[in-house]
Amino acid sequence: MNIVQMKQDLDNKETPKTSELESKIEETSLIMEDVLQSSKKKVKVERRIKFPINYEDLDSGKKLKSVLVSKIMDSEARLKYDQVLMTLGGGFSFDTFPQAQKTRFQCIARIIAQLESADQWVLEKAGEDLDFCFAIASKLVEHENRYFRYYNEENGSEKKQPRFSIDFPEFEEV
């Protein structure tokens, strides 16, 4: 394009009035302020959530689907989690198992204790397919983390306020 022609076009073009520009700037400022305020809000994660899963069965070639329900573990479910770990350990000390085995046990225990309901195929496949087992368990852990910590991706670098405090004055240094 010809630079001279470009200059002439710009010179002939009507420029917006100052009041119109100020109005646009103010409108944009208000929008930005709303965005900033909404990003500071804590994201509330429900105690019970549903999430869909898909799985391709390598043996049959079928595409399996289900909707799982994750429920944040209460004290009873945490005891169930511990019982599953003990059962999987077969009476041996949990600490004596290799790390990979302990991780698998923890994933299976979490799936059993935290899922409110699961199709039989989900439990069977989680027991035999490590990747599937780890993927489900990691989503369950993420649900728990977000529930208790009011996770907010946009403000991940912000210092989070503690959910509780424990004051023990007898142990404070003078």
Q: Are 152 and 43 in contact (CB under 8 A)?
A: yes
What are residue 117's DSSP bridge partners?
A: 69
Identify the H or E element spanning 67. Answer: strand 63-71
pLDDT at 47: 93
Q: Quick count: other Cβ atoms within 10 Å of Cβ 95?
A: 7
User: Cα–Cα distance between 71 and 137 in angstroms, integer?
Assistant: 13
pLDDT at 38: 54
User: Cα–Cα distance between 36 and 21 in angstroms, integer?
Assistant: 22
H-state helical runs in 2-98: 3-12, 18-40, 75-89
Q: What is the pTM of this model?
A: 0.66
Q: Are 125 and 55 in contact (CB under 8 A)?
A: yes
3-state secondary structure of 144: helix
Residues making up the chain, counted from first to last: 174
Spell out, as residue ranges, where the chain has pLDDT lower than 70: 1-43, 150-160, 174
pLDDT at 111: 95
Which tens digits make up the pLDDT trace of 46-65? 999 999 999 999 999 999 99
Query: Which residues, at least 6 apart from 88, have a Cβ–Cβ distance to it below 8 Å?
Result: 105, 108, 109
